[in-house]
Structure 1
Amino acid sequence: MTSSRPAESSGGSRASSPGLAVAAVARRLGVAPATLRTWDRRYGLGPSGRTAGSHRRYTPDDVARLLVMRRLTLEGVAPVDAARAAVEAGDAELEVATRSAPALPAVQVENDLDGAESEEFAETFVGTLRAPEPGEEPAPPPSAEPKEEPRGRARLRALPGGATGGDAPAAVGPRSATAPAPTSGRVSALVDAALAYSRTACDNLLVLGPDGDPATWWTDLVEPAWLRLSERTVLAGPGEMPEVVLATAALRALRHYTEEFERAVVEAGGPPANHPSRMRKIVLVFAAPDEVVPLSAHALAAALAAQGAMARIVTGPASTHRSVELVTMVRPTAVVLATTQNKPDLDVVHAVNESHPDLPIFVGLRADAAATDLPFGPTVQRVRSFTGLLHEVLAVIKAR
C-alpha cells in the first residue's frame, strides 16, 4: 500500500476551506463515492481535514491529489503507480492539477450518507464540471432534468496496457462546423461514462445539434473515445458492455441529427430524402465484414448528408455476391468501405471492382500494410483519414 501523505501541504497556494464530504468530491471528480473510499483504503488518498464534529473532510490539497490520481489512471497508468505519484506530488504539481483539470462527467449521487460503507448508489449525469479558479469554491453540478437514473455497483476494471444549437439550415448544401472541437478531457469523460455504463452521460456528451458537424464530432470526439475504449480490458457483469453503451448513444445521436436535418431541409422548401433528384447521386457505404458496430460508416453517411449528399449504409450479412447485387440494383455514384479496423477483409472491394470496373471505390485504410491487398485500378482509391475520405467522395459527387 502506498504510504499516507502528510495531513497538510506546506506552503501551498490553494485556499483553505472547511473541506468537502465524500459525496461532494465524488461529484467534483465524476466518480462514485465507493471509488473514493477504495482509494482511501488502498492508497491513503483519503480526507485529511476534520470538522468540529470529527467528521473527516477533503481539503483542497486532498482534492488536487485525487485529480492527479484520476488523470493518470485515465492515461493508462496503473492505479498503484498513479496513487504513488499523487501522494508524492509537490505544491507546483498540485496547483497545475487544480487549474488544468479537464471537464469530467458530473454525477449527482443519492443515498450516500457521509461515512456509510454501502457501495450501492444511484447516479444521475447532469453535465460536466470545470476546474475552479484559485480561491474559488468548487461549483455545484449544473441542474438538469435527467432522462434516466441508472443504478450501478462499484466494479473492478483493468486499465489499459459537440453540442450545438441554432436555426435549421436554409437548404441542402455545404455547411461549416459551428461547434468547438472537443478537448481530450471530453474524450476521457466519454470513455469514463461508457465504463460506468451511464447511458445518460453518453447521451449528454454526444449531443449533435442540427447545426453541428458530424465529421468533426466523429474525428475529435467519438473515434478517439471508441479507439481508447477498445484498448481497455474490462471485468464486466452479465449484460454489461461499455462498447455497446457508447455505440448505442452514438447511433442515437446520429439518427436524431439526421432526422432534424432532413426536417429542416423540407421545411425550407427542399426535396425530401427519397426524392429522385437526391437519389440520383447516392453513395453506398459498406462496413468491414467483421466489424460488429460500423460506427465510422454511420458517421460518414451523416457527414455526407450534412454536405447535401445522399448515402446509405449496407448493414447485416453482405456476401460478395449480395454486395454486387446491391450495387447493380442501386447504381450508386460511388462505393465506400469505411472501417476503424487496421486490416479489414477486402473481398467486397475486389468483387465490386471486378463487376463494375468504372465505379469509383474509396477505401479508408490507415495501415500501409493493408493497402497492398487492394485491387489495382484507376477507380480504386485508398484514403488514410476520415476527413480525406469525406472530401474525396464529395469531389466525385460534385463532378458527376
Structure 2
Amino acid sequence: MDRSPGRDEQGDPGADAGAEPAADPGAVAAPTLKVAAVARRLGVAPATLRTWARRYDLGPSAHTAGAHRQYSLEDLERLMVMRRMTLEGYSPAEAARVAVQSARATSAAPSVHDPSSSTPSQAPSPTAAQAGPPPAAEVPAHAASTPPARGRGEAPAPRGATPSVRSLARAAMALQAGECQRLLEAHMAVGGVVEAWTGLVRPVLEALSDRVGAVAPGRSPVALLEAALLAALRAAVEAEPPGGPAVLVLRPCAPRGGTGGAAGSGATGDLLSHVVAAALREEGAAAAVLPGAHAAERVAAVGEQLDAAVLVVVADTAVAAAAAEETARLVDPAGARVVLAGRGWSGPAPAPVVADLGDVAATALA
C-alpha cells in the first residue's frame, strides 16, 4: 500500500512500521549492506538514499530487531535501476516507478517472459503487473532495443534455480549485456566475487552450454555473459588499488610441446582465473592473471617478473594427467608458493588443494 511522505518522514528511521510486515522472513539471513556501503557502490550521497526511501519507497527492506535496517540484494538491484535511469535523463519519479515495478514483477513472477521489447519511458500503471508481462523495468534504454530470446522466451536454468539465476539466464538469452552486468555487479556488491561465480554465473553458464542449440552469427549468450562477467569484475576491483603481496593466478600448465587445450580449464577459458584474482584483490592482494595455458618455465618466468609470492593454479573441471604433471614442476622450495584451487583437482597433488574458492584468499595469503 502507498504511504504518505508526511507519515514516512515523521516515523522512526530505524524501524519503518510499513516495511517490516512486507519483508520476506528468510531475507534477514541473506547478505546485506549498510547505507554507507550502498552509497559508495552507487556513487551517491547517503542523504540521497534516504530521500529515495522517503519519496519513492526505495529504502532497505532487511530489518532485525535492535539493529539498523540494511539493504538486501533485491534492494540494491532496484536502486541500480533508479541510478542508471536518472543518469540517462529520466526524472527521479519515473525512474522510481520503473525500479519499484521491476522488484514487484520479479518477486511475483520470476519465470515471466523477458520484457526486452519495451522501453523505460513506458512507466507502468498500478495494474500493469496484473495485465501481463511488465515493461522493461530492469532494462534501461541502452538495452531496450535488444531482440528477445528465441523460442518460448524461457531461458534455460538449472532445476530449482533461484530467481537471480533465472533473471541472469533470461538476460543472457536476450543478449542484454548491460542487464547481465547490472545483475552481476549487484550480486558482487552484496555477496562478493566468489559467491557471484559459484551461485550465479557458473550455474547459468552450465545451463546455457547444455541446452542452447544453434544460434545466428554474432548471437552467443555464453560469450555475452562471459564478457559481462569480466566487465563486472573490472568494476568490482578498480576502485581500490591493491597494495598487498603479489599473486599470479593461472590455469593448469600446458605440457611442453602442447597447446594447453586439455589443461582442464573447461569451456570458460580464463574466466575462473579472473574470478579468483578479483577475489584476492578484494582481500588486498596485488593479484594478476596469466591468460592461456603455458609450460612451467614460462609461468615461473612471469612469476619472477612480477615478484609473485604465490602462484594460484585454478581449475573448474578435471585436470588432465599431463597438465597436472607439468603443473607439479612449479613446486620449488626456493621459489614462489603454489596453491591449487577449484573443483578440478583430485587425487594426489604436489601442492595444497583448496576446493572451495571462498577459502583461496585465506590459504594464499596466510
Q: Name the SS for the 2:215 alignment partner.
A: coil
Match of 1:234 among 208, 213, 237: 213
Q: Secondary structure at the match of 2:247?
A: strand
Distance 1:338 1:160 in 2: 25
Distance 1:300 1:125, change over 3 A: farther
Residue aligning to 2:246: 282
3-state SS of paired residue (1:340): coil
1:302 offset after TM fit, Å?
A: 1.3
* Structure 2: unaligned runs, 5 residues or longer: 1-105, 253-259
The 5-angstrom pairing of residues 313-324 of structure 1 reads 313-316=289-292, 318-324=294-300
Give, in whole Å, the separation in 2 of the partners of 1:286 and 1:125.
41
**Alpha-carbon distance in structure 2 between the residues aligned to 1:331 and 1:200:** 37
Deviations 1:179-206 (A, max 9, x none): xxxx711112212222222223312222
**Structural mapping, 1:358-397, within 5 Å:** 359-366=336-343, 370-372=345-347, 374-375=349-350, 380-394=351-365, 396=366
Matched ranges for 1:124-143 at <5 A? 140-141=134-135, 142=137
Q: Residue 195 of structure 1 aligns to which amino acid in structure 2?
A: M
Q: Does 1:109 align with 2:80?
A: no
Separation in structure 1 between the aligned mates of residue 157 and residue 107 of structure 2, nearest angstrom: 26
Asked whether the equivalents of residues 304 and 390 of structure 1 are also in contact (C-alpha less than 8 Å), the reply is yes
Greater mean alpha carbon deviation, residues 145-154 or residues 223-232:
145-154
Aligned-residue offset at 1:155? 3.6
| Letter of the 2:246 counterpart | I
Change (3 A) 1:306 1:150: same
Structure 2 CA distance for aligned equivalents of residues 221 and 333 of structure 1 = 31
Deviations, residues 198-219 of structure 1 (Å, cap 9, x unaligned): 2233122222489542232222
* Structure 2 equivalent of residue 304 of structure 1: 280
SS of residue in 2 equivalent to 1:234: coil
Structure 2 Cα separation of the partners of residues 257 and 310 of structure 1:
14
Name the larger-Rg structure: 1
Identity percentage over the alignment? 23
Query: In 1, are the aligned partners of 2:117 and 2:146 still within 8 Å (CA)?
Result: no
Relative to structure 1, the CA distance from residue 103 to residue 307 in structure 2 (aligned partners, 3 Å threshold; closer, same or farther) is: farther
Q: In the alignment, which residue of structure 2 is the partner of 1:205?
A: 183
- The Cα RMSD (Å) is 3.8
Q: Deviations over 1:352-389 (max 9, x none)?
A: 11x4566432212425xx422632xxxx1112111122
Judge conservation of contact 1:208–1:254 (CA < 8 Å) in 2: no
Show structure 1 runs of 5+ residues with no match.
1-97, 111-123, 162-182, 263-272
2:173 to 195, 202, 213: 195
What is aligned with 1:52?
none
Relative to 1, partners in 2 of residues 1:105 and 1:308: Cα closer, same or farther, differing over 3 Å?
A: farther
Deviations 1:122-155 (A, max 9, x none): xx699xx9xx9xx966684337632244443764
* CA deviation string 1:244-264 (max 9, x = no partner): 1100000001112212233xx
Task: Give the match for residue 222 of structure 2.
Answer: 243
* TM-score (normalizing by structure 2): 0.54
Superposition pairs for residues 1-400 of structure 1, below 5 Å? 101-102=109-110, 106-109=114-117, 140-141=134-135, 142=137, 145-152=140-147, 155=150, 184-208=162-186, 211-212=189-190, 213-262=192-241, 273=242, 278=243, 281-288=245-252, 289-290=260-261, 291=265, 293-316=269-292, 318-343=294-319, 345-353=323-331, 355-356=332-333, 359-366=336-343, 370-372=345-347, 374-375=349-350, 380-394=351-365, 396=366
In the superposition, relative to structure 1, how do residues 237 and 255 fare at CA in structure 2: closer, same or farther (>3 Å)? same
**Given residue 321 of structure 1, which amino acid in structure 2 is its aligned partner?**
E
Give a deviation string over 1:302-323, Cα, whole Å, max 9, x none.
1111122221111145232211
Distance, in Å, in 2 between the alignment partners of 1:302 and 1:185 is 25
**CA separation of 1:374/1:287 partners in 2, compared to 1, >3 Å: closer, same or farther?**
same
Mapped partners of 2:151, 2:225: distance in 1: 19
* Contact 1:125–1:200 (Cα < 8 Å) also in 2: no
CA contact (8 A) 2:116 2:147 kept: no
The alpha-carbon distance between structure 1 residues 219 and 210, as it changes in their structure 2 partners (threshold 3 A), is closer
Residue in 2 that maps onto 1:165: none
Q: 2: CA distance between counterparts of 1:99 and 1:244?
A: 28
Question: What letter is aligned with 1:372?
Answer: G
* Counterparts in 2 of 1:246 and 1:254: CA distance versus 1, 3 Å: same
Aligned residue for 2:147, secondary structure, equals strand
Q: Quick check: 2:114–2:171 contact (8 Å CA) kept in 1?
A: no
Cα distance, 1:298 vs structure 2:
1.1
Paired residue type of 2:337? P
Shift of 1:391: 2.6
